[in-house]
Amino acid sequence: MKKFMILAAVAMLVGRASAAVRDTISLNAGWQFHLGELSGIEAVKNAKSERVNLPHDFLIGQPWVEPDASERPDNSDAGSNVRSRLSPRGFKEMNVGWYRYVLTPKAEWKGRRVVLDFQGIMLVGDVWLNGKHIGKTDYGYLGFDTDISSILKFDGDNEIIVKANTQQPNNSRWYTGGGLYRDVNIIVTDKKLYFPRHPLFIRTENNKKVKIQAEIACFNKVDNISGTTGSFLVVRPWTQFFNPEDRSDMPKSRCNNIVMTNIQMECRNFFDVGTSDKYLLRDFTFKNINVKDEKKAFDKTMIENTIVENVTIL
């Protein structure tokens, strides 16, 4: 996988990659919900249920539970809010909630990366797609996503099952709610070029500087290419936001896992890669390559862990 920090660019002049379209489709409307334990995911479809939209909190609608007369506040810790069994969770009884959603994928999603994204499941959650367990979270304040491209059925409906469990009363310090209390989305991107989860970081320094860090994932394979070009492989840091000549705070870029195979080329410069302290290159593979190169500048030592197999440069 290739990761770019601060949008570092690797330009393949035989076919420069452009920004992929990212589609976000909300799945917030029309979930089937059941409150309480069930024997398993097979029982969800026919269980007594109601139709809900997200965000949904199954805890807030439950009765308030008054502290038992035998329960006494713990005053040994002034910072503690454990005054009774349920006081840390808003005096609501803990429970389990089951959610079911039927997803019919669009035909244009084929061949693209399809991700099922949960912004949050309180407190712990498990997710199944078409009977297969595909993800879980053990901490309700953090979301997670899972790539479902390879298991999505395009010839029919897909069943998403979610189990949310609020667990023990003392597993929090305040009222948390329970269930799918944040958005659920389908995110569709290019299969080889996309932003990973939480890719952008912005921070200030002494109210004078703004530092921006972005991460892009790219799985790149250049295969079966022939023809004539000026430069074939070009690696340079992208300076849209930073001028490396006068900015000492530009973070280092990274590029890795590039595979180039079955290439027949005539070019002025096959390997137009310069050294720089602004980026780190590693894990490139050159295989079955035959090129006529005027510069003859190919140097595998410039890229860490480079694999060269059956490469001829004339």
pLDDT digits (tens, 9 = 90+) for 241-274: 445 455 555 556 667 778 889 999 999 999 988 8
Taking 3-state DSSP, the helix, strand and coil percentages for the chain, each rounded to the nearest 5, stand at 5, 45, 50
* CA distances from residue 218 to 73, 104, 183, 232 in whole angstroms, order as listed: 55, 27, 26, 19
Sign, Cα dihedral of 297, 300, 303, 307: positive
- How many C-beta neighbours within 10 Å does residue 142 have? 12
Point out which residues pair with 304 in neighbouring strands.
282
What whole-number distance in Å separates Cα of residue 11 and Cα of residue 16?
Answer: 6
Identify the CA nearest to 219 among candidates 147, 141, 155, 121: 147
What's the N-to-C CA distance of the chain in angstroms? 30
What would you measure as the largest C-alpha separation in the chain, in angstroms?
Answer: 89
Token look-up 């949310």 returns: 164
Sign, Cα dihedral of 164, 169, 171, 174: positive
Q: What is the distance of C-alpha 250 from the center of its chain?
A: 24
pLDDT at 104: 97
Q: What is the distance of C-alpha 312 from the center of its chain?
A: 39
pLDDT digits (tens, 9 = 90+) for 224-234: 888 888 888 88
Q: Which residues of the chain have pLDDT under 50?
A: 1-20, 240-242, 244
pLDDT at 175: 86
DSSP structural state of residue 200? E
Does pTM surpass 0.75?
A: no
DSSP secondary structure letters along 261-297: EEEEEEEEEEEEE---TTEEEEEEEEEEEEEEESS--
Name the helix (H) or strand (E) containing 33. strand 31-35
CB 115 within 8 Å of CB 24:
no
Q: Which residue type occupies 31?
A: W
Look at the chain and count its residues: 314
For the record, the structure tokens of 131 come out as 């009977």
Task: For residue 243, give every residue at least 6 positions away whose Cβ sits within 8 Å of its Cβ, in sequence order, or none.
Answer: none
What whole-number distance in Å separates Cα of residue 6 and Cα of residue 59?
Answer: 42
Q: Which residue type occupies 258?
A: I
Token look-up 């059925």 returns: 153
